Chain A
Amino acid sequence: MSCEEPTTSPTPENNITVVSSDGKEFLLDLKLTEQSETLARLISNFEYDRTDVKKDPVPLGNITSAQMQKIIEWLQHHRYYPKWEQNDIHYSTSFTFETWVEEYLNIPNNEMFELLNAANYLNIPRLFSTICRIMASRITGKSAEQIRTVLNIKTDVKNDVYTGIPIQEDSSSSEDGMSEISLSPSPPPI
């Protein structure tokens, strides 16, 4: 699917400024923010789509400038795509992605993890769903042990299926250092 069309330059009337966690400002076309349910709701709540409303920069909590750059790249590519509609992703075996998406997400798993968190935070369903499917595709055909390695899952207490008695014990570090991304824009003053 290709929906490339000439892009329009943001003007003060049709853009907002978002600020990454490391303080870098990004000028974002309002058209692009429609893909982020979080930003779209915020813009609607504060009526930032009106030209007579002063638009304060929107701080984006834990999203770094590198992640924001990557997300803007995604938003720009999908600028003219139809609104995302959630298909039934249950049990789908198709892991076919357009070339652009494959290249865009040709990144290490740790970066993918951060991007998925950011997509979840900004509520960009097309990106969120695509990363989930890419992640699933990366473990296709892998054994339990390989999946354990790729997903960094530690063994934990596992009860015998019949007796309910613990049959193995190991450390589980899964909650250690849980990375939380919270929706930071404390509503900017109007």
Chain B
Amino acid sequence: MGDILSTFLFFKLPGEALSNVVRCMDLPEILCLSLISYKTQQLVKSLNIDSQISSIHVTDEVVITLYDFHHFYFVWDYNYPEILEVVEKIPDENGFEGWRNEGLMTLTEEGFDFGQWMSQLQSIFFEPEIQCVILNNIPAPVDAQWFFDSITGSGIKYLTIHESFSGNECRPLLPFVKELE
């Protein structure tokens, strides 16, 4: 397929072609594109991608799932804050969730932490509200307050807190939550 090494003068394309090429990309590439520069971030924003973060499941790692992009989810590890792993769910022959391609893509952004990854993801979606946050546990060595602070400010529709968390620990999030379980 052609000479991939020869460059494509992306921003010299007419506007419609520019946005069309991006709309043909899948989410990991769109996220990568938004990381490249301020201009690409604005381009991605301008597409008003009609999706949102459907859930953030907090355990020994943080799993982020999305509406409309059911074939991907993201995994963030407390030990490697600059990395966001993209995991692909590949349906089996019956169309049900099959095996997981865990080595699909690893996004690395210098200086990023969980809060910045969240901001980056939310910035590319038309709907920045997080549908659901499920707090199971945070590893003992991790400062829970730091973690909560990193997602404080995001609108959260449902928050589910398991017994291991006290109300005080989660208090910073509460003003941004519509429903609590």
Which stretch, A18-26, A49-57, A59-67, A84-92, touches the partner chain B? A84-92
Q: In the complex where A89-B24, A109-B3, A143-B107 touch, is A172 in contact with B8 (Cβ < 8 A)?
A: no
Closest to B22 in A: A136
How many A-B contacts are there with CB distance less than 8 Å? 146
- Interface range, A side: 35 or more
Contacts A149-B7, A152-B8 hold; do A143 and B24 have CB atoms under 8 A apart? no
Q: Are A161 and B120 in contact (CB under 8 A)?
A: yes
Binds B, one of A9-17, A30-38, A100-108: A100-108
Residues in A neighbouring B41, C-beta threshold 8 A = 158
Which A residues touch B11, using CB under 8 A?
A: 152-153, 174-175
Question: A-B pairs with the 8 shortest C-beta distances?
Answer: A174-B11, A136-B24, A151-B10, A152-B7, A109-B8, A108-B3, A158-B38, A144-B32
* B169 lies within 8 A of chain A by Cβ: no
- The answer to whether A132 and B17 have CB atoms under 8 Å apart is yes
B157 close to chain A: CB less than 8 A: no
Write the nearest CB–CB distance from B141 to chain A, whole angstroms: 25
Beta-carbon contact of A155 and B32 below 8 Å: no
CB distance from B36 to the nearest CB of A (A): 5
Other-chain residue from B12, B20, B36 in contact with A144 (beta carbon distance below 8 A): B36
**How many residues of chain B get a CB closer than 8 Å to chain A's CBs?**
48
B residues bordering A, Cβ < 8 Å? 1-4, 6-14, 16-17, 20-29, 32-33, 35-41, 49-50, 68-69, 71, 104-105, 107-109, 116, 119-120, 123
Please determine whether A178 and B25 come into contact, CB atoms closer than 8 angstroms: no
Q: In this assembly, does A45 line the interface, its C-beta being within 8 Å of a C-beta of chain B?
A: no
Rounded to whole angstroms, the CA-CA distance of A159 and B42 in the bound complex is 11
Flag if A177 contacts B2 (CB, 8 Å). Answer: no
With A132-B21, A153-B36, A172-B39 given, is the CB distance from A109 to B6 under 8 Å? yes
In the complex, what distance in Å separates the CA atom of A147 from the CA atom of B24? 14
User: A77 in the interface, Cβ–Cβ < 8 Å?
Assistant: no
Answer whether A107 and B2 are a contact pair too, CB < 8 Å, given A113-B13, A116-B17, A172-B37.
yes
Min C-beta distance of B110 to chain A, whole Å: 10
Determine the chain A residues whose CB is within 8 A of the CB of B37 once the complex forms.
148, 153-156, 158, 172
Q: Which residue of B lies closest to A172 (CB)?
A: B39
A-B contact pairs, 30 of them (CB 8 A): A89-B20, A91-B23, A91-B26, A106-B2, A108-B2, A109-B2, A109-B4, A110-B8, A113-B12, A113-B13, A116-B13, A117-B13, A120-B17, A136-B22, A138-B4, A144-B32, A144-B35, A144-B107, A147-B29, A150-B4, A150-B8, A151-B7, A151-B8, A152-B8, A152-B9, A154-B37, A155-B37, A156-B39, A174-B39, A179-B12
